[in-house]
Structure 1
Amino acid sequence: MTEKPPAAPESQHVDDIVAEKDQGTIPWDDETLWQEKRLVRKLDMTLMPMVWVLYLFNYLDRNNIAQAKLNSFEEDLNLHGSQYNTAISILNVGYMLMQLPSNMIITRVRPSIYIAIWVCVWSCISAATGAVHTYGQLIAVRLLLGIAEAPFFPGVFYLLSCWYTKKELALRTAVLYSGLVLATAFSGLLAAGIFSGLDGSRGLAGWQWLFIIEGAGSFVAGIVALFVLPDFPGTATGSTKWLFSDAERALAIERVRRDQVSNQESDRSVWFGLKSAVKDPRVAVFALMLCANHTAYGFNNFYPSIVRGFNLGSTVVTLLCTAPPYIIGALIAFAVAWSSDRMGERGYHIGGSMAVAVLGFVISVSTLNTPARYFSSFLYICGCFAANSLVYTWAASAVSQTPEKRACATAIINLTSQFGNIWSPYFFRDGDEPRYLLAMILMMAFAGLSIVCCGIMKWTLKRDNRKLLARYEGAGEQPNLHVL
């Protein structure tokens, strides 16, 4: 029987405890391994379901404008030219403005309160979209929505990286990312039901009901998160106090510390973390990679319009047909993430997924055959989704010399990638509908750029691993290396 691990001090932050622990504080025997499996199962049953639900609503509230376009949204607001495209892009401007400061803040506050408050704020803003009457009001609401939604994904991903190890994180990120996938899939089904049953009810158009109903749902989820979402493992606050024992919190800290690449820094200030992240060229490569991925994913806000061009039937039938590729995409993303975790490899899995997306774009621009073009959408949806979830995981482990650097670096990578979401809507010109030939070619090119970035990053991390091995040579200790 192993000795009970020391309790984590309630007033101390998780990362301070991690920094103070010495190797071997907790004996890593069979009983500890069993306790570790029990801890991971408990996380999978509490933390993961909560953040999954929140991410589903996060993307529902952001992406419902794509379904609104199939109702009377543009006519009611008198949108013309590229105004709809601008309404999509402006959200990402607000998203970029808030991400980095938010991730610097979250390292010093309780995530359960911080994240839940922002969920409730964005829910109200999203619901308010149903009350806009002019293009100017729409732009203002979408900008504020971007600011309010920005803290969620990078903050949640940082929280996950404080609880899960590298070999666990890819699959959990894919599970989290499936909230986005299924939100995109079922938003069409939900919109179909609202448009057919509530359009014109109480003097409101179907698109207005869409924003109101989905905003109300995410507000309720935010209230639940306030009581259910765990904080960092080193703090006995909120649900962390009753979900996890002192021994489990201490074990969570120790196992994450043991999993860190052997290149840790001692300076724990937020500003040192920011400076290190900005100066690290690997952050720039990951940012370009993810920006390319998001650009290739630019079809998302126009996918209902793409499917409408297949002439499969009514608006309801079109919305129903948008769901299957995203559902299959979620399953493929799980399989790729599981393989990536099992093999301890990232670059080939990301590059291979983007190669599948390139094939889908090639088929889409090469034929007018409707079944072939619909099949091609399965390929580029599955490829982009599988790749996107892995980039975050790869980046988090490669740039984590301190927790503060990891928080700043992942925020910089994510906010820089939003440029892809800003300019990609302008690829889809009204005159190009329904084939969007120019957009497909451009997204194909950016998918290729992502593959090139994967090759550069694998080469860079292999070089860094050789340096780590050289540093520990003769020390009688095997360093933790970067995942390639």
Structure 2
Amino acid sequence: MTSMAKLRQYFHSEYQPGERALVRKIDFFILTFCCLSYFTNYLDRSNLANAYVSGMKEDLGFVGDQYNQINTCFTVGYVIGQIPANMSLQYVRPRLFFPSMMLIWAGLTMVTASVHAPGSIMAIRFFQGIAEATTFVGTHYILGSWYTERELGKRSGIFTASGLAGTMIGGFIQTGIYSSLHNRQGLTGWRWLFIIDGLITVPVAVYGYVFFPDTPRTTTAFYLTEEEKALAVSRVPTVEDKSPISWAFFKKVFTSWLFWGFVILWIIAGETESFSSNALLSLYLKSHPVNEYTVSQLNNYPTGVPAVGIISTLFWATLTDFLSGKRFLVGYFIGITGIATSAMILVASKDPTNPASTAIVFGAYYWAGSVYACQATFFAWANDALRYEEHMFRAVVLAGMNVGSNAVNAWWSILFYGASMAPWFKRGMWAMIACSIALAVWTGGLSYLTRKDEQRLEAEGAISSTRSRDGKGTSEEA
């Protein structure tokens, strides 16, 4: 098949009768809630960095690496909540579970406006991490339950991009709040940020209670007909679920190469996001060796990082769908990016007062934002590989990926990217180079194993029927 023919097939997939209307409905109701949820999730996470550079550091008397310690407390809570959250989706309707957790983290966000010491924020962020643990891996589980292999990458990309939009817009929100509400009603601008971010989350949770459709086999959504519900079930492989709470199940999980392959993949890949997830550009600007930046500049300049991440995420998610799910290509791209951007910053640190040094650092951190593409593509890759496994196994692997990554990140960020190491984070640059090399190597090995497993399933005839529906139907053109 020629490249042009593949391109035409990609944009003009054929569906079963009624399938196009079903996909449009679930796109609207699932993606609107999941994306708005993740948007507010990242808005609530990124506001700590925005507040830190907008006066919170001075008002609360931060010293040393207390900023990183707060992030570690959040991460510990996030790790604790991951697997229980995804397992809970087997017993509690997602339509109730997701919005309820949102209301909890919205309340904790608003409570942060009342704190008077860094230690109070540490306690709040710990419990906030537990509540927010439901969103990322839970949504990837839901997406894998509704969408076919051909559709999944783009939807995962849109979902991930919504979180990056929350990070990007958070800077602009803080700038607007600081200029319009600073010292209004006796509250500083950074305190208003937490209040407003929490309030933004509440209506999204209410929307989820009403419209979120659960999973194909449990949905009672009023906007889906009985025929559409049956079609939704038929679109994804039928998997026989066994009792998940058993020694046999956990033995299967912890002895499976699928579990360890994807968990270690995301542990390494998660650390390649360290430049962005630890707000290093913000900390660099705050501790710049020459320049003094205004509060608006400190909040606005770093928004270019998630902006690049959004473009990269959507590009790679769409491209890997077009290339029939070759998600592993992103691992090689990120490996190159991590090595190059780290080297750029190390070179810039040799002549810190040179204006060209600042330009190089900006370019490096903006380019580094493109590594966010691995979130959508690697979780889509895991969903693809686990499509024929029982649902609880897939849920635990997806959660385990994020547990492993965040368990390492809890201490990794302090060891390599502590705020006291600003502005150059030289130790972190070398750690990034090592992670980037490791990611390329691990990606190569895992892609070999998943390809062999796919060939085995094809030989057994397990994937022929669903593949035929994955863009090769005969009745209705999209």
**CA deviation after TM superposition for structure 1 residue 431, in Å:** 4.4
| Distance in structure 2 (CA, Å) of the matches to 1:31 and 1:180 | 31
Task: List gaps (5 residues or longer) in structure 1.
Answer: 1-29, 259-263
Match of 1:293 among 259, 269, 294: 269
Provide the residue aligned with 1:195 in structure 2. 178
Provide the residue aligned with 2:378 in structure 1. 391
* Equivalent pair of 1:350/1:451 in contact (CA under 8 Å): yes
* Equivalent pair of 2:51/2:190 in contact (CA under 8 Å): yes
Task: Calculate the TM-score normalised by the size of structure 1.
Answer: 0.85
Corresponding letter in the other structure for 1:379: W
CA distance 1:312–1:181, shift in 2 (3 Å) = farther
| Distance in structure 1 (CA, Å) of the matches to 2:140 and 2:146 | 10
Match of 2:346 among 361, 365, 369: 365
Q: Counterparts of 1:43-192 in structure 2 under 5 Å?
A: 43-192=26-175
Match of 1:467 among 433, 456, 477: 456
SS at match of 1:203: coil
| Distance in structure 2 (CA, Å) of the matches to 1:137 and 1:318 | 25
| Distance in structure 1 (CA, Å) of the matches to 2:164 and 2:411 | 21
**CA deviation after TM superposition for structure 1 residue 308, in Å:** 4.2
CA deviations on 1:180-223 (whole Å, 9 max, x unpaired) are 21111111111111122222222212211111110111122112
Provide the residue aligned with 1:27 in structure 2. none
**CA deviation after TM superposition for structure 1 residue 466, in Å:** 4.1
Task: List gaps (5 residues or longer) in structure 2.
Answer: 1-12, 471-478
Provide the residue aligned with 2:431 in structure 1. 442
Percent identity, aligned pairs only? 26
Provide the residue aligned with 1:253 in structure 2. 233
Corresponding letter in the other structure for 2:376: S
Corresponding letter in the other structure for 2:67: Y
**CA deviation after TM superposition for structure 1 residue 270, in Å:** 5.0
Provide the residue aligned with 1:3 in structure 2. none
More deviation, 125-134/115-124: 125-134
* Equivalent pair of 2:77/2:127 in contact (CA under 8 Å): yes
**CA deviation after TM superposition for structure 1 residue 161, in Å:** 1.1
SS at match of 2:54: coil
* Equivalent pair of 2:42/2:167 in contact (CA under 8 Å): yes
More deviation, 30-39/447-456: 30-39
Please state if 1:212 is matched with 2:187: no
Q: Counterparts of 1:247-326 in structure 2 under 5 Å?
A: 247-257=227-237, 267=242, 269-271=244-246, 273-299=249-275, 300-302=277-279, 303-308=281-286, 311=291, 313-326=293-306
More deviation, 203-212/119-128: 203-212
Corresponding letter in the other structure for 1:292: I
**CA deviation after TM superposition for structure 1 residue 112, in Å:** 0.8
**CA deviation after TM superposition for structure 1 residue 324, in Å:** 2.3
Larger relative contact order (Cα-Cα within 8 Å, sequence gap ≥ 6)? 2
CA distance 1:236–1:329, shift in 2 (3 Å) = closer
CA deviations on 1:261-314 (whole Å, 9 max, x unpaired) are xxx666354545544222212211211221122222122232322344564842
| Distance in structure 1 (CA, Å) of the matches to 2:169 and 2:223 | 31
* Equivalent pair of 2:99/2:208 in contact (CA under 8 Å): yes
Provide the aligned length of Structure 1 versus Structure 2: 441
**CA deviation after TM superposition for structure 1 residue 460, in Å:** 1.3
CA distance 1:206–1:31, shift in 2 (3 Å) = closer
SS at match of 1:70: helix
CA distance 1:162–1:469, shift in 2 (3 Å) = closer
CA distance 1:40–1:138, shift in 2 (3 Å) = same
Please state if 1:429 is matched with 2:409: no
**CA deviation after TM superposition for structure 1 residue 478, in Å:** 4.7
Corresponding letter in the other structure for 2:110: A
* Equivalent pair of 1:274/1:404 in contact (CA under 8 Å): no
More deviation, 290-299/183-192: 290-299
* RMSD between aligned residues: 2.4
| Distance in structure 2 (CA, Å) of the matches to 1:193 and 1:438 | 35
**CA deviation after TM superposition for structure 1 residue 121, in Å:** 0.6
| Distance in structure 1 (CA, Å) of the matches to 2:307 and 2:429 | 22
SS at match of 2:278: helix
Match of 2:398 among 410, 417, 426: 410
Task: Calculate the TM-score normalised by the size of structure 2.
Answer: 0.86
